[in-house]
Structure 1
Amino acid sequence: MKSTPRFFRPASGLVLFLAAIGPSCAKPAADASETIPDGIREREVPPVRPCTVERREMVRVLETTSRLESDSEVQIFSELPGRAVEILVEEGDRVKKGDVLARLDHRDEDLAVADAEVALEEARENAAQTELKIAEARDSLAQRETEALQAERDWKRDEELFSSSDLARPLSQQALEARRLQKEQAEHAVEQARIALERSMLEKEQSATAVSRAQVALDRARLTRRKKDIVAPFDGVISLRNIRIGDSVGTAQAAFVLTDTDHLRALFSRPQEELRLFSDLRPSDGGEGEDGGLAIQATTEAYPDRSFEGYVERISPTIDATSGQFRVVARLREAEGTDRVLLPGMLVRMKIITARHPDALVIPKRALRREGERRFVLELVDGPDGTIVRRVPVEEGFQDEEYVEVIPVEEGALDAGTRLVLIGSRDLVDGDPVRVDELGDATETVGEDSTPR
């Protein structure tokens, strides 16, 4: 095969080019101005999907997880050993403070109570007899005092008669001495009656002490009897039962576990960088809950369709030296009139509301455009030949999963009801015409930032 010399090889590209432009060159100049060259298309007005600026509340939140725990959860032990003869509750039962959960064999204790009651009754009877003795002693003393007074008068009368005349004495010396002896004996009887009264008063005090001692013995017997009953120390729910009828229950074995399910809290830790945020909240911030702390919104995996309100009750006054975090105690509550579903040990996801903007301008996140560190939106405005876009610089505020708060750099540049470009903003610049497509033919990659040309 012979090779064609290089300078004789046809220039195929040149031939095609001449063939393409040949006919156009042969036409008049007037026709050339009306014809669009092949490969060049007139730019179409791009379709865009609009959205509207809304005015509503936006909040700043911190998200964390924790497990609920009860304020009060205790193991209940029997105070005395014994054999279980009656079980009155089961797991899941709600009980009140003082309710009897189980009873141990208490026959011996019942006999001890009965014996103490008899002893107290005897002591009270003895006290009553002592009161009678006191009354008798007082009557005896009064009688002896009367007799002594009469003996005193008789002795003085006889003494005057004996001393009135030396010649004819109506009373002998012996009779006068007998009268004096009677007086002294009456005085001695008065002293004995007084001693008897004092002795009765002392017996009264002793009988009162005996009554008190018998009462203490009865109270102790009754207390011992009550210790044979295992009772609930507070309102709650039986979460565990460890004994059965006939079991020998000891004081080292937990018979029940009682949980207060009405007062639940969530404990979690936050880095110390957030301590000021938790500590310096003021009412003007709008982030406080009904009970004065930071407001909380919580959800659970067990009930994903329900939301629970709560608040931060307190924070730890110290920072853990190892982790550099501080502990936070939060409270959750369930709406009145609804079934109680929160339980200790349940995993909750909490959003802690640290600030509120009740009158924020809000747009869908996809309507916000980014250009480096700058943020802007494209407003849809009426132009001379149709709808055009206008670039409005903004700053980002609070945001959630779907929406973001925007703050116009120029005050009043945006307001509720302003229409923005949501989808279809790629390669659009300030002043470009667009076609508003309410049906959603405009497309844009989800999550892709729009960069102006």
Structure 2
Amino acid sequence: MKRTTKRLSVGIMAMAFLGYWFTGGEDGAPPEAASQIKPPAKADRPASTIAGLGVVEPAGGTIELASELPGVIFAIHVAEGDRVRRGDLIAELGNGELKAKVAQGEAQLAIRKADLLRIENGSRNQEVAQAESRVAELTADVELAEADFQRAAKLQKSGAISKKGLQTAGNARTAARQQLKAAVQGLSLIVEGARVEELAAARAEVALAEEQLAEAKAYLTKTFIRASSDGTVLRLFKEAGEAVSTQPSTAIAEIGDTSKLVVRAQIDEAEIAGLAIGQTAEITAPAFGDHRLSGEIVRVSPRIGTKIVDADTAGEKRDSRVLDVIIALAEGRAIPVDLRVDVFIDPDSGLQRVSDASDTPLFDWAIRE
């Protein structure tokens, strides 16, 4: 009985000692653990702060420029980081053959227009005089051929020439008459001018040549890849000498307007009830050090999607369902696009909540799957 009482007393004393150590004795902290307690990371943030990861993007999004034609890149005319304006030349495909087709089309059109002009203006006085002179000359030839034939006929009757000689004279008379007939018809066309159908055909030839030239120029234009909007060249995907395809489409460059930046923050679906348009947000990143950026929620996605911004930590949930929130930053901030940042939203700073504002449209910033 004494041994049992002694053991019980020792156990009680040991438990009392351990309790004293874990509670820190009189100060409420163990001697070694007291120095390891860290204050809250951001004591100035409200406990209701909504946190998430985000990336920096141009407010207007980015555009990947591609070619409408397959081919080989002849030249790249910009470098990453260059500012460009709408219509500036970004890249050029090899287009020697298409340039030759354009030149051929221009020559063909010039010929068709000259033919039409000749038909519309009619013949000149010199051409009429020349045609009349030709008719007179051939008329004389016909009269001479007729006289030769009559003389040959008389000689053949008297036996002075053979039937073959008479036939030769007859053939010469026939040929002279046919030439005169053709010349008279030519003079008539020159004097009367072109017929309606000839004029219509000439005009159709001009129209066809114009369409063919326009088509050749359109194909040539597609070999010049130009900026579709003002912005900065964010990335070049191809270099001179590399081939591009249209099946599938091959991106050559990416541009975006970096003068206005936003942060696309992804908020876990469990915390979206506290979001509101107009709430303020604090943005931090290792690249900023202790400097913090501020922004304001301007858009909220109308649908939940999968997480695309990762923290690259071992315990991170990569299958989380999140809502995209767009936060506008102050203009003039020189921040790299696609920079990963941490976002802290103050839910008490906005009055208009998504769940309560039935008359407020949900914006169309869809989450990228």
TM-score by length of 1: 0.41
**Structure 1 or 2: larger helix share?**
2
